Structure 1
């Protein structure tokens, strides 16, 4: 065996020994599993209005965008979606990418053009961490959700322009960042605040406008918002929203925008329809928060130290990676899909189940799923 193949085989054995092997499990179109693992928080991915909008765009534009945004990939559907997103998020402008991951890579790299220091929350998503790595700037990791810690880092580097990067609702544990306090720190020191609003968009803030809006920061010129369009909106793609000069800079220099094929117009049109539904989905948001509190109460009664989720993510500690895998597998065998998060997906090296609340799941199915999760617990 070639040396490099032997090296890969050795690494695979080491991952297996540590309980960190992962598997792809394709689901059929008629899959009947109760979904408490995906991110379709408002249950809009299969809403008839979303499907109709995507179908109509598919008939008009065809399957793909056929090029990058700056060549042939920008359509009037893309422009309409960007206008709707800017209006919803309360920003001057917005730019759509083909994924939230690519949007996060782009936003940190763009900030590096005007900042000479990047401060990243210790629990940030991998896409933000990778953005920091390619930024070409010194990166300081701040203690999780600690405005005082951020202030100390900034004060230790006087005269340097900084970008502070955080999530609004953190993707693994589901806790809420103290955005107002962080902004007070950054604005007093002339720093940018970059917020990944992926798990708050559609759930928090006025009309579901996100965690930044909920914190009263919508439209602040020194705040840049990113989000994925694949969670509460049930589609695919990403967005960066902020002041017009930020978007202008991204159009001119953003490598993951310039060199990537545009999102398919059918997906873009479907997401636009989902925004119109999400803005007025107070009943679905109420269902989501009621169900999140119910899950937390049930798990606490079973002895698990969980808190009511800030949005749609609830993290449940497991004794270790093998126990987390077994718990998730037992649930799946009984018709319930739950998330299983192990290193390196978990920032603190511990393992847990991640439950995501879906307001579109029928009540009887949700109640049964909750029973299954508790009964399968280690």
Structure 2
């Protein structure tokens, strides 16, 4: 029977140390959580500024529920585009310095909507090999030729672009790579896009709110002004540093208009709750005023990196809140995570296919909500496992 094959394949995942399981949190997102009945210090979430349970956002959500109800009732292009959605898009565009922005219910939906709206059969997508799964799926969904270049290898990308005869070209990359924590060379990618008349689409899920002046993102961090580059489309996620949910794409007025007309994941889905949109308006203000949070986060990053020098726990060269320790073997990574859990610390073991085979790792994510003492506790636990 076809369903019996599933049992065999699930058993195979378990034997390879690849079967995943959900953990149930009995507390809100935060750095001190209760998971399956156990109190743990969490280094798991992407809540980089600690805003997910911020009282000001909770109050904004409460007020929005009273004023707007809980649902939008329809897609944006029917009757579901409420005033909070419109105001949010205006705030987002102004914040990142673009002409317009379009809000999507999730980051995955934003990526799946944007790429196929820009390229199709006979065109070509040039994608970093370590791109997030949503970008990989977006490229495949577009039906354009999908060319993957080695991670951050500009010379390889240049060769692919030079050899391409596609009508339209699109360079696709994460800005901060979610499993390694390093940055894409955006200025050089933009120069290649200019040279070969290509779109440059960047997913800044892990940079928005954290990097750049006032948290305006990785392009701002690297000195790129979005308004000066019409071929650059910026995708920012709002469920990580912003502490809520959803995503947006920012660009020129005509590009955003085109996406509104052609991005299927925008057109054919019910609009997100107005509660979410109204809460995000408040979140953008907190991000803009969050220099102290970002400074504290940077202090924690440096403390962790310095504290693990001269140990067997070698971190990748990441300047961001994502601090991975490569272990290699799947079971060894699981055992290390379990040993930390026994000391009351939750660090996830990341395994293929999320990361390449042989690069299973502990993925430490830091938040401005962590204290120095909590990072020191993690350091002590890791050193005890040496």
Q: TM-score range by the shorter chain?
A: over 0.9
Q: Quick one: distance in 1 between partners of 2:91 and 2:121? A: 28
> In the alignment, does 2:333 pair up with 1:324?
yes
Name the residue aligned to 1:22: 20
Moved more, 176-185 or 332-341: 332-341
Q: Quick one: distance in 2 between partners of 1:5 and 1:45? A: 39
* Shift in Å, 1:307: 4.2
1:159 and 1:287, CA in 2 relative to 1: closer, same or farther beyond 3 A?
same
* Shift in Å, 1:269: 1.6
> Aligned to 2:349, which of 340, 349, 356?
340
Q: Is the 8 A contact 1:115 1:162 kept in 2?
A: no
Name the residue aligned to 1:292: 301
Name the residue aligned to 1:257: 266
1:84 and 1:286, CA in 2 relative to 1: closer, same or farther beyond 3 A?
same
1:330 and 1:267, CA in 2 relative to 1: closer, same or farther beyond 3 A?
farther
Q: Quick one: distance in 1 between partners of 2:89 and 2:236? A: 12
Moved more, 69-78 or 325-334: 325-334
Q: Quick one: distance in 1 between partners of 2:87 and 2:122? A: 31
Q: Quick one: distance in 1 between partners of 2:174 and 2:331? A: 28
* Shift in Å, 1:114: 9.6
Name the residue aligned to 2:30: none
Name the residue aligned to 2:192: 185
Moved more, 293-302 or 96-105: 293-302
Q: Quick one: distance in 1 between partners of 2:198 and 2:220? A: 19
Name the residue aligned to 2:94: 87
* Shift in Å, 1:295: 1.3
* Shift in Å, 1:159: 5.8
Q: Quick one: distance in 1 between partners of 2:122 and 2:321? A: 33
Q: Normalization by structure 1: what TM-score?
A: 0.95
3-state secondary structure, aligned to 2:102: strand
Q: Quick one: distance in 1 between partners of 2:368 and 2:128? A: 29
Q: Is the 8 A contact 1:115 1:163 kept in 2?
A: no
Tell me the C-alpha RMSD between the 2 structures: 1.7
* Shift in Å, 1:40: 0.5
Name the residue aligned to 1:76: 83
Count residues in correspondence: 375
Name the residue aligned to 1:280: 289
Name the residue aligned to 2:318: 309
Which consecutive unaligned segments of at least 5 residues does structure 1 have? none
Q: Is the 8 A contact 2:182 2:317 kept in 1?
A: no
* Shift in Å, 1:35: 2.1
Name the residue aligned to 1:176: 183
1:327-362 Cα shifts (integer Å, max 9, x gaps): 222222332221221000004552001111111123
Deviating above 4 A after TM superposition, structure 1's stretches of 4 or more consecutive aligned residues are none
* Shift in Å, 1:375: 2.6
Q: Normalization by structure 2: what TM-score?
A: 0.93
Q: Quick one: distance in 1 between partners of 2:122 and 2:239? A: 30
